[in-house]
Amino acid sequence: MKAFCSSIVSINVLYVIVNLTWYTAVFPLRLRWLFRLPFQETKLDSLTKQLERPAIAGVDPLDVISKVNLERANFDVVELLPRLKEGGAFVKFTHNQNVSLETIETAVKAYLKETRPHPWWAPFTRMRANRVQGKPWVEDLYSRLPSTRVKVEFLPPNPGETAAELSEEQLYSFFRRYGKLANIVPQPSDSKVLPRFAYVDFTAIRRAIMAKNCMHGYLVSEAEGGGKTGTVLRLSYEAKVKAHWIRDWIFGHPRIVIPALIAIAGAITVAVFDPIRTFFIKAHILGTFHITNNRIWRWFRAQAADLFTFRRRRDEDAGMQAIWSERNEDIEKIRTWLMETADTFIIVQGPRGSGKRELVLDQALKTRKLKLVIDCKPIQEARGDSATICAAAAEVGYRPVFSWMNSISGMIDLAAQGAAGVKTGFSETLDSQLAKIWNNTATALKQIALEGRSKDDKDAHMSEDEYLEAHPEKRPVVVIDNFLHKAQESNVVYDKISEWAARLTTANIAHVIFLTNDVSFSKSLSKALPDRVFRQISLGDCSPEAAKRFVISHLDADPAEAEAEVDGEKKLTPSQRRKDLVELDECINVLGGRLTDLEFLARRIKTGETPKRAVAQIVEQSASEIMKMYIFGMDDATRKWGPEQAWHLIRQLAQQDALRYNEVLLSSPFSSNGDAVLQALEQAELISIVSTNGRPQAIKPGKPVFQPAFRMLTEDRVLKARLDLAILSDQIKSENASIDKCENELKLLGELPRRPSEISGRIVWLLGKLKASQEKVEAFEMESAGLKKILQQEY
């Protein structure tokens, strides 16, 4: 073998092009991670020698070189320097003086192009070779791994000399031969970093490796643009890393990221939280975690029954038994409806204090275990969306509840809208949140209804819908209490509840019973079930006989007094001892049959008051409430009626038991928007409107006790004078406005140049109407003078 040529042109490089996807073979680039391990040099050299063997390597460089036609390129190999982390090898060789380096390079490239040798682990990648023109730096720094970006620094050949900065065109001419370039990034002109440099980006990492090893240390002559003294190129790999690229991509693509986050959050909610929430709703309905259903608690309660008596509850039960006997027909009717398959609502309507809740829960559903009671009052009275969601969730046992996320998601949605320009839909409205709660509740109710099924049943072949339709007794009962409570404030809650209840009934999932004080419930519920006839029970005041039994039962409900003995004989009951109960019939006729008022009467009598005195106190309290709620106590901005309109009805109902509906509309206080005012007063429970065949017919007091309270108010001369004076003032204004209209029209007719005979009748009619209005004004003024005199003389 010839002596090794010390010239830099005697060192050539041969590289195997390696694709990053292949992992086995000689010098694959994926073996670069080996340099990050704490290998000893001896072990790494041993591994390298093993990889150099032709049996292991896909292509042996020495074998390829030996097959080159020596007639065209006569040279001898001196040494093979493998470069494991760069996937190639340096080949040192000597050659005759008669053979130029260009000839050898051309011969090697021609052979590689003709035979196209490739390693077995990369069948589509052929071996390439290129001559080293610079002074390569062979290092084993494992932190400097190859990359597609090469940093080219411009250095002077000797200290103290000046290097020239190559232009992009010059760099392109030097490095394009090694592969396709992606970009050339020169150093900014205002940069103070020395030495000057430029970045050369290749499209493939193997091209960058070849350029770095072939051109490192290359001296650019003056003819090539390197300046008078020349310029040395120093090449190094530069990791092409973009800082915060994940964050920048996320914030730079909100229209993609935000919907993806919403989809992920929705998937987590459906997959994780929805089953948990359904479980808690079922536990709430079944009473799984209620202490009253615990066996140990029930045993202790039974043992302590003799020590602790629940007197108040016993009094209430004893009193209500007198009412249930009268309403037994309604109780049986509800029980019968629950055994039928009709998919419609059951509605129990009645004024407050009529015992709707006790009738349904304590009597009709007494033996039903599967029932869910939803009270609309706390939901409707909640302030804010979060409080409303929490209240609705508490009624059905829906948990966990993330109501606070609603406001946060709203802010995120607002920020995303500013960034992306469109709404993302990340935030959810109160409507959608309530829909989630009711949908989970419906799922829980259906699972409860289907829990009793088994494969051995005779109807096991039925589908779930067929089974529920065939077994109405298996369906749970949903009781919606206080429906349409304060419905004038917002109807969102009631609309969602009625729609959800309609789905339950039409899908045969559950029976739905509405308890409401509002007489206009059909307008709201007909939107949800427009093609169904509702099953309705209207509860009114109980009869005088039942009311008397109710009061007496309350008085006799104390077992300690009822069973006491005097001289071996049983003591008389409290009702038998009271001599003033002969007044009870007269008092009940005055008080009426409203259960709340009767219970209040019984408690006052038990404290020692006489029935008449108790009724007088109740009537006086009711009169004070009427003045506060309907005349003086409310702000005009929050009510739909005026004090004069309420007083007109009070004054008329104090004299009559009922008023004609249409006659009231013809009166002056109700001449404009009278229907809306009467409906608002009915909602406020000052009056009750009696309808026949759907037509309003009569107006009665909202409660029986209101009529004596009306009489008490009209007996107050000062109050009557003040409010009558306000009504007279409105009537005088109305008549004066009518007189003004008549005078203006007469003035217009009098200005006509000729007076046609056709307008004579009109003039006579206007004059008569003007005279009648003037007579009314004079009469109203006289009456007003008398009322003002009362206000001036009396307190």
Residues in the chain: 795
**Mean pLDDT of the region 657-670:** 90
Q: Where are the alpha helices (DSSP H) in 94-147?
A: 101-115
Task: Report the Cα 634 to chain-centroid distance in Å.
Answer: 35
Helix (H) or strand (E) holding 91: strand 88-95
DSSP per residue, 395-410: HHT--S--THHHHHHH
Place of tokens 């009426």: 592
Residue 482 backbone class (left: φ over 0; alpha: ψ -120 to 50; beta: rest): left
**Where is mean pLDDT largest: 32-46, 436-450, 545-559?**
436-450
Burial class (CB in 10 A: 0-12, 13-18, 19+), 632: exposed
Lowest mean pLDDT among 95-99, 160-164, 435-439, 649-653: 95-99
Burial class (CB in 10 A: 0-12, 13-18, 19+), 371: middle
The CA distance from 359 to 334, in Å, is 10
Q: Torsion angle of alpha carbons 372, 308, 605, 628, nearest 10°?
A: -40
pLDDT at res. 89: 76
pLDDT band at 54; cut points 50, 70, 90: very low
DSSP per residue, 320-351: HHHHHTTSHHHHHHHHHHHTS---S-EEEE--
Q: Let me know: does 563 contact 569? Beta carbons within 8 Å.
A: no
Helix (H) or strand (E) holding 687: strand 687-692
pLDDT band at 153; cut points 50, 70, 90: very high
Q: Where are the alpha helices (DSSP H) in 162-204?
A: 168-175
pLDDT at res. 310: 46
Lowest mean pLDDT among 411-425, 603-617, 677-691, 762-776: 411-425
DSSP conformational letter for 73: -
Place of tokens 């005979």: 757
Residue predicted with more confidence, 128 or 779: 779
Q: Let me know: does 437 contact 430? Beta carbons within 8 Å.
A: no
pLDDT band at 696; cut points 50, 70, 90: confident
**φ, ψ at 53 (rounded to 5°):** -65, 140
The CA distance from 713 to 715, in Å, is 5
**Mean pLDDT of the region 580-600:** 82
Q: How many CA atoms lie within 13 A of 705 on its CB side?
A: 25
Radius of gyration of the chain (CA): 50
pLDDT tens for each residue of 397-409: 888 887 666 666 6
Place of tokens 């029970």: 537
pLDDT band at 53; cut points 50, 70, 90: low
Neighbours of 171 (CB within 10 A): 19
Q: How many CA atoms lie within 13 A of 746 on its CB side?
A: 15
Nearest to 327, CA basis, from 550, 482, 480, 590: 550
Q: Which residues contact 9 (CB under 8 A, 6 or more apart)?
A: 101, 131, 133
Residue predicted with more confidence, 69 or 442: 442
Whether the predicted pLDDT of 692 surpasses 60: yes
The CA distance from 280 to 618, in Å, is 45
> Residue by residue, what is the 3-state secondary structure of 195-250?
CCEEEEEECCHHHHHHHHHHHCCEEECCCCCCCCCCEEEEEEECCCCCCCHHHHHH
pLDDT at res. 411: 61
DSSP per residue, 520-567: THHHHHHHH-TT-PPEEEE--PPPHHHHHHHHHHHHT--HHHHT-EET
Place of tokens 């739905």: 512
pLDDT at res. 404: 60
**Mean pLDDT of the region 135-143:** 79
pLDDT tens for each residue of 337-386: 998 887 889 999 888 878 888 889 888 898 888 899 999 989 988 888 88
pLDDT at res. 322: 66
**Mean pLDDT of the region 22-28:** 38
Q: How many CA atoms lie within 13 A of 521 on its CB side?
A: 28
Nearest to 52, CA basis, from 92, 81, 12, 20: 81
The CA distance from 365 to 357, in Å, is 10
Long-range contacts of 309-313 (CB under 8 A, 24+ apart): 309/559, 311/557, 311/558
pLDDT tens for each residue of 89-108: 777 877 777 777 777 777 77
Q: Let me know: does 235 contact 150? Beta carbons within 8 Å.
A: yes
pLDDT at res. 479: 94
pLDDT at res. 568: 46
Q: Let me know: does 477 contact 509? Beta carbons within 8 Å.
A: no
pLDDT tens for each residue of 480-523: 998 988 776 667 888 899 999 999 999 999 999 999 988 778 88
Peptide bond preceding 701 in cis form (omega within 30 of 0): no
Neighbours of 692 (CB within 10 A): 8
Place of tokens 């003045």: 627
pLDDT band at 477; cut points 50, 70, 90: very high
The CA distance from 746 to 756, in Å, is 14
Residue predicted with more confidence, 478 or 383: 478
Residue predicted with more confidence, 201 or 545: 201
pLDDT band at 19; cut points 50, 70, 90: very low
pLDDT at res. 596: 83
Q: Which residues contact 692 (CB under 8 A, 6 or more apart)?
A: none
pLDDT at res. 563: 47
49-68 in b/e form (b: 16+ CB < 10 A) is eebbeeeebbbbbeebbeeb
Burial class (CB in 10 A: 0-12, 13-18, 19+), 495: middle
Round the average pLDDT of the chain to a whole number and report it. 79
Query: Which residues is 233 bridged to in the sheet?
Result: 154, 218
Q: Let me know: does 562 contact 573? Beta carbons within 8 Å.
A: yes
**Mean pLDDT of the region 2-8:** 31
**Mean pLDDT of the region 553-582:** 62
pLDDT at res. 713: 92
Q: Which residues contact 213 (CB under 8 A, 6 or more apart)?
A: 13, 15, 83, 86, 88, 90, 132, 136
pLDDT at res. 769: 92
pLDDT at res. 61: 60
CA-based end-to-end distance of the chain = 138
Side by side, the strands of the sheet bearing 511-516 are 371-375, 477-483, 511-516, 346-349, 535-538
Whether the predicted pLDDT of 159 surpasses 80: yes
pLDDT tens for each residue of 179-230: 899 999 999 988 889 899 999 999 988 888 888 988 999 999 988 888 888 9
pLDDT tens for each residue of 232-263: 999 999 887 666 777 777 777 777 777 777 77
pLDDT at res. 679: 86
Nearest to 510, CA basis, from 448, 433, 462, 440: 448
pLDDT at res. 219: 92
Nearest to 316, CA basis, from 324, 327, 308, 305: 324
pLDDT at res. 346: 92
Residue 490 corresponds to which tokens in the numbers above? 């917002």
DSSP conformational letter for 515: E
Q: Which residues contact 452 (CB under 8 A, 6 or more apart)?
A: 474
Rounded percentage of the chain residues whose pLDDT exceeds 90: 22
pLDDT at res. 328: 86
The CA distance from 500 to 495, in Å, is 9
The helix/strand count (H/E) of the chain reads as: 31, 19
Q: Please indicate, yes or no, whether the overall pTM of this predicted structure exceeds 0.85.
A: no
The CA distance from 641 to 633, in Å, is 13
Q: Which residues contact 742 (CB under 8 A, 6 or more apart)?
A: 766, 767, 769, 770, 773
**Mean pLDDT of the region 8-33:** 39
Side by side, the strands of the sheet bearing 231-237 are 181-186, 197-202, 149-155, 231-237, 218-220
CA torsion sign, 235 to 238 to 240 to 242?
negative
pLDDT at res. 711: 92
**Mean pLDDT of the region 53-76:** 58
The CA distance from 47 to 50, in Å, is 5
pLDDT at res. 567: 44
